[in-house]
Amino acid sequence: MSETFLKYNELHKILVTLFEPEYGLFYRRNYNINNNTLININKQPFGKIENILDESYIQDNIERVIDKDTYIIDIDRYMIILKKKLKKSDIEDLKTNNNLILINFENKKIKNKNSFYSQELLFNLTKNKYVPYIEIISKEDELVNIEKDKIAKIKMIDPLIKFYGFSKGDICKIIYKSKKINNIDLYFNYRIII
């Protein structure tokens, strides 16, 4: 196998975190994909989402799309770029293209909801039983009469907020999973994203 910065099992874990039905980042952000959506990696057809969720499929097919410094994953109208080293142009592209997700391997903190350090995507934090469920509150919901300056704040760089792709100024309802009885929310609170 050619030498690359990304091992096939790391690639598989990242792809599962991104595309897993009901739990993946694309599902949580309501991106319009399904198990039959086709994926290209480095401009090579790589299969359907259901294929890439299988680790042995990744292992058997990684050779044909391998690159030493970059993986570019095209899926529908979205693009995911996995890079060993970031350039200024990558960060500028991230600011102008909302359909771009940038994954870096240098642990560079970029304040953008579509930028991730690779280690953040090796596991899906929303599947942990202690991580709360979070949803955006629309204007028609229960907070219409509450002033925004009286709501507690949460930073946009919070891992859960980034995972869901929420934006500054959104108001979210955080529902704690361990505080439910008969599917009734016993404990929840609101936060405004800053």
E strand or H helix at 164:
helix 159-164
Report pLDDT for 24: 95
pLDDT tens string 166-189: 999 889 989 887 655 666 656 888
Judged by phi (left if over 0) then psi (alpha if -120 to 50, else beta), residue 22 lies in left
pLDDT tens string 107-155: 777 888 999 999 999 999 999 888 888 999 876 565 556 677 788 999 9
Listed in sequence order, the residues at least 6 apart from 165 whose beta carbon sits closer than 8 Å to its beta carbon are 25, 28, 29, 113, 114
The domains located in the chain, with CATH, are: 8-123 (no CATH), 128-193 (3.90.940.20)
Report pLDDT for 40: 94
pLDDT score of 1 more than 50: no
Burial class (CB in 10 A: 0-12, 13-18, 19+), 79: middle
**What is the rounded CA–CA span in Å between residue 59 and residue 12?**
9
Helices and strands (H and E) in the chain: how many: 6, 12
| pTM listed for this prediction | 0.86
pLDDT tens string 43-89: 999 999 999 899 999 888 888 887 778 899 999 899 999 998 888 89
Report pLDDT for 6: 79
Kindly state the percentage of the chain with pLDDT values over 70.
89
- Give the distance between the most distant pair of CA atoms in the chain: 61
